[in-house]
Structure 1
Amino acid sequence: MKRRVVVTAIGMASPVGDTAQAAFEALVRAQCGVAPYPDGSLNREVGFVHTDVDIGLPGNQSLMLDRVSTLAMYAARQALEQGGLEAREQTNCGVFVGTGIGGVSALCDAVAGFYNVIKKKIQLVIPAAMPNAPAAHIAQRMVSTQEAQTYATACTAGAVAIGEAFRRIRDGYLDVAVAGGTEAMLRPELLQAWGQLQVLCVDAEKSEQGGCRPFSKGRTGFALGEGAAMMLIESYEHALARGATPIAEICGYGVSNDGTHALRPNHEGQALAIQRALDDARLPLADVRYINAHATGTMTGDRVETRAIRHVFGSHADSLAVSSIKGAIGHLIGAGGAVEAAVTAMSLQKQVLAPTLKYEAGDPECDLDYVPNVARNVHGLGAALSNSFGMGGNNAVLAFAAI
């Protein structure tokens, strides 16, 4: 018998807040966390985490870990503390983490040190750079003897990690898990690499139409961001037994692959993931009233996602609210799907939708209700989707229900 799965706590480090609550409130206020990097080392505006995420790390871990791990551990520690999971329960808690690239700063510094471009750092490069380092360190901190898995599926990684943890709990393999995503690639080398793909937006300070502007006329792409979000998820019975209060229910998960092109999204592949999530959740189309969109602000990507939504929902698409938070935080790549899933869960809990910032109508192929510029209070919002679509053609959609 399949079990119900609920979210009982959320930890987060984001460009607009150092907790999930602070970030959600900032998003509702239409606050933007994309700005010039403080030390001036990056030539583009980015979404960066202001808080000191090394706080509380034992010994020399702040020196030996890549930022991708310290962000993940910061968010996981929040989730565990907020959720009140006792030490003996943490031993039986699974860990599921998504990341697009892993410890890339450790790799960049190792190469620069090798060629004497910078002074060599005291760091064990391999354990710092390996993609499964965040999951491994979270598991070690909890002394977990359950599975600790890592997913590297580009921009869907955080959503996939949550979805796979959901399946384990629903099907009885685990009672509780920490699941989410983390990313830290704010480096000159990586910004140049993203620039090669011509997907980065014009800076807001350089143009009135600059910044990440999902679904808008004249949009130019996304701003790169960093951050992490970790959810504590568990079976409904397990949560009730220990007195935890659910935030929302995860009721479905759908994945697919475009099978067409590594860089060009395909609406049929995206629609398949959306439909699979709805089928998994046994949700009628009419029950869904909100979609937290992947919507990166690229010209092609936003049009394809709009087509995918219309493909699945038909005439009901005109009754949907669809918004993207990437204008506020940037594109967090492997952490993006986790942050967006967390915001979707909190939208159901609080009955408020975060807006799409800097929205300007005018693209005839983006013709849905995008919750423009101002948050929206809703009543009776019972179900919502969180879309994540990644390079390589990987698609992942999570379905949530109000408790």
Structure 2
Amino acid sequence: MTTSSRVGIVGLGLSSPLGADLDGAWARLMAGESAIGLMSFEGLPDIAAARVQEDVAAVLPKLQQVGTERVSQMALAAARRSIDDAGCGPWADAERVGLYLGTGMGGASTIDSAYAALYAGRRVPPLTVPTSMVNAAAAQLALQCQIRGPVLTYAVACASSAAALAEAAHALRRGEVDVAIAGGVEAVLTKGTVAAWQALRTLAPPHEADPARSCRPFSPDRAGLVLGEGAAFFVLQREDDALREGRRIRAWLAGSAISCDAAHLTNPDQRGQMAALRRALAAAGLQPADVGYCNAHGTATVAGDPVECAALRELWAEAAPALRVSSTKAAHGHMLGAAGAVEALWTVLALERGEIPPTAGTQALDPACTGLGHVLGQGERAAGLRHALSNSFAFGGTNVSLVFSKAE
């Protein structure tokens, strides 16, 4: 183990509805743009959704595309970008490189197609199992990027990739690996998955005047979440290793914590959320007032938003009005298992650039969500921002809070 236990972020990679280029996607986010639009499936009501527009299949030769599906291809696109951004590879010792990936549903389109074929009396494709298994994306990344250390998949619904980041940092601090590739991916915009979410009655109906405003976190007229898809990956190293190898440290993953509500499968719980927040701050050695920005989980559900705001207000106390808060889901939808990683990436860029992105779709606040420094409409400058956090609170009761610090 090296002398420093600080974990630095040395590479970032993205595949999102706002784009894959970090500068371009960030500019759209800061301007308050939304990538949410209408999406149609035969036999179902139209939905509001945010889809990745790039050709993610192009990351593989045509012959290899047959054995992979969209979720794995999207993960590979983002992970390769993070590795390129870090200037890593080929690995000096591939057995000292670990992969920590979060996803909620894995190969949703493969499962959807297989059931459609079965019930129509057609042949189920022979690669259905290896293509749809929840660890398929991680297996493909390991194969394509020659990662021979621990390759792990975390599936705790909307907290999956945030948990993957937390566990990757722990593995580095324990000396289990020297380089950690960590992040998440989700591609669930399929007919079967959409029908299941519609049955749960948590999806927001498309906004009549402007579908881009369908997701309105913290707003009094919010009507539910909007599905999105995407991927984000990080390359993490211990401080001494990164500096010795001449890598730029973009930010520090200063602390993390994971808790479980143990209260309800789908309803949020303030006590459980506060436990994750409190312990993440303690792990980072910070007080609430030290943290200037929170990328909130903020799904725009009627139940969820007030609970998260109450947790932040209670913990931040008199410092709550100064805590800048936004939910970037208003711009790119809820990416489920990929949400934690994508929103952590925005949090790192906020620290790096001294800017805070807005909650794009919201024009007024629900009284239950006030008392915090909400950033609405367009982003704002925050030159003095030193510490920020990202929340991911999941179905099943898993809560993950990640604390990041500016690299000085």
What TM-score do you get using the length of structure 2 for normalisation? 0.94
Contact 1:186–1:226 (Cα < 8 Å) also in 2:
yes
Deviation at 1:361, TM superposition (A): 2.3
Aligned to 1:100, which of 104, 117, 123? Answer: 104
User: Quick one: which amino acid aligns to residue 119 of structure 2?
Assistant: Y
1:114 aligned onto 2:118: yes
Contact 2:40–2:47 (Cα < 8 Å) also in 1:
no
Contact 1:274–1:397 (Cα < 8 Å) also in 2:
yes
User: Quick one: which amino acid aligns to residue 382 of structure 1?
Assistant: R
Inter-partner Cα distance in structure 2 for 1:120 and 1:331: 33
Contact 1:325–1:354 (Cα < 8 Å) also in 2:
yes
Deviation at 1:185, TM superposition (A): 0.5
Contact 1:222–1:298 (Cα < 8 Å) also in 2:
yes
Q: How big is each residue's C-alpha offset from its partner over 1:287-309, in whole Å with a ceiling of 9 and x where there is no partner? A: 10100000000111000000111
Q: Which residue of 1 aligns with 2:57?
A: 54
Give the % identical residues. Answer: 37
Q: Which residue of 1 aligns with 2:399?
A: 395
> How much is the aligned-residue C-alpha RMSD, in angstroms?
1.8
1:18 aligned onto 2:25: no
Alignment of 1:286-297 (within 5 A): 286-297=289-300
Q: Which residue of 2 aligns with 1:134?
A: 137
Deviation at 1:207, TM superposition (A): 6.8
Secondary structure of the structure 2 residue equivalent to 1:54: helix
Distance 1:20 1:120, change over 3 A: farther
User: Quick one: which amino acid aligns to residue 97 of structure 1?
Assistant: L
Secondary structure of the structure 2 residue equivalent to 1:395: strand
Deviation at 1:222, TM superposition (A): 1.2
Deviation at 1:315, TM superposition (A): 1.3
Aligned to 2:66, which of 36, 57, 63? Answer: 63
- Count of paired positions: 402
User: Comparing 251-260 with 138-147, which one deviates more in the overlay?
Assistant: 138-147
Q: Which residue of 2 aligns with 1:303?
A: 306
Inter-partner Cα distance in structure 2 for 1:166 and 1:295: 25
Deviation at 1:122, TM superposition (A): 4.9
Distance 1:187 1:59, change over 3 A: closer
Secondary structure of the structure 2 residue equivalent to 1:291: strand
Deviation at 1:89, TM superposition (A): 3.7
User: Quick one: which amino acid aligns to residue 12 of structure 2?
Assistant: I
1:352 aligned onto 2:332: no
Q: Which runs of 5+ in 1 are unaligned?
A: none
Deviation at 1:142, TM superposition (A): 2.0
Contact 1:63–1:122 (Cα < 8 Å) also in 2:
no
Inter-partner Cα distance in structure 1 for 2:245 and 2:348: 21
Inter-partner Cα distance in structure 1 for 2:247 and 2:241: 9
User: Quick one: which amino acid aligns to residue 375 of structure 2?
Assistant: V
Secondary structure of the structure 2 residue equivalent to 1:231: strand
Distance 1:217 1:209, change over 3 A: farther
Q: How big is each residue's C-alpha offset from its partner over 1:308-344, in whole Å with a ceiling of 9 and x where there is no partner? A: 1112111111110000001100000000010000100
Distance 1:362 1:289, change over 3 A: closer
1:196 aligned onto 2:199: yes
Q: How big is each residue's C-alpha offset from its partner over 1:222-267, in whole Å with a ceiling of 9 and x where there is no partner? A: 1101110011111111111111111110000011000110011001
Distance 1:303 1:39, change over 3 A: closer
Q: Which residue of 1 aligns with 2:250?
A: 247
Q: How big is each residue's C-alpha offset from its partner over 1:27-79, in whole Å with a ceiling of 9 and x where there is no partner? A: 01211101123888972121100000111313522222121111111101111
Secondary structure of the structure 2 residue equivalent to 1:388: strand
Contact 1:6–1:249 (Cα < 8 Å) also in 2:
yes
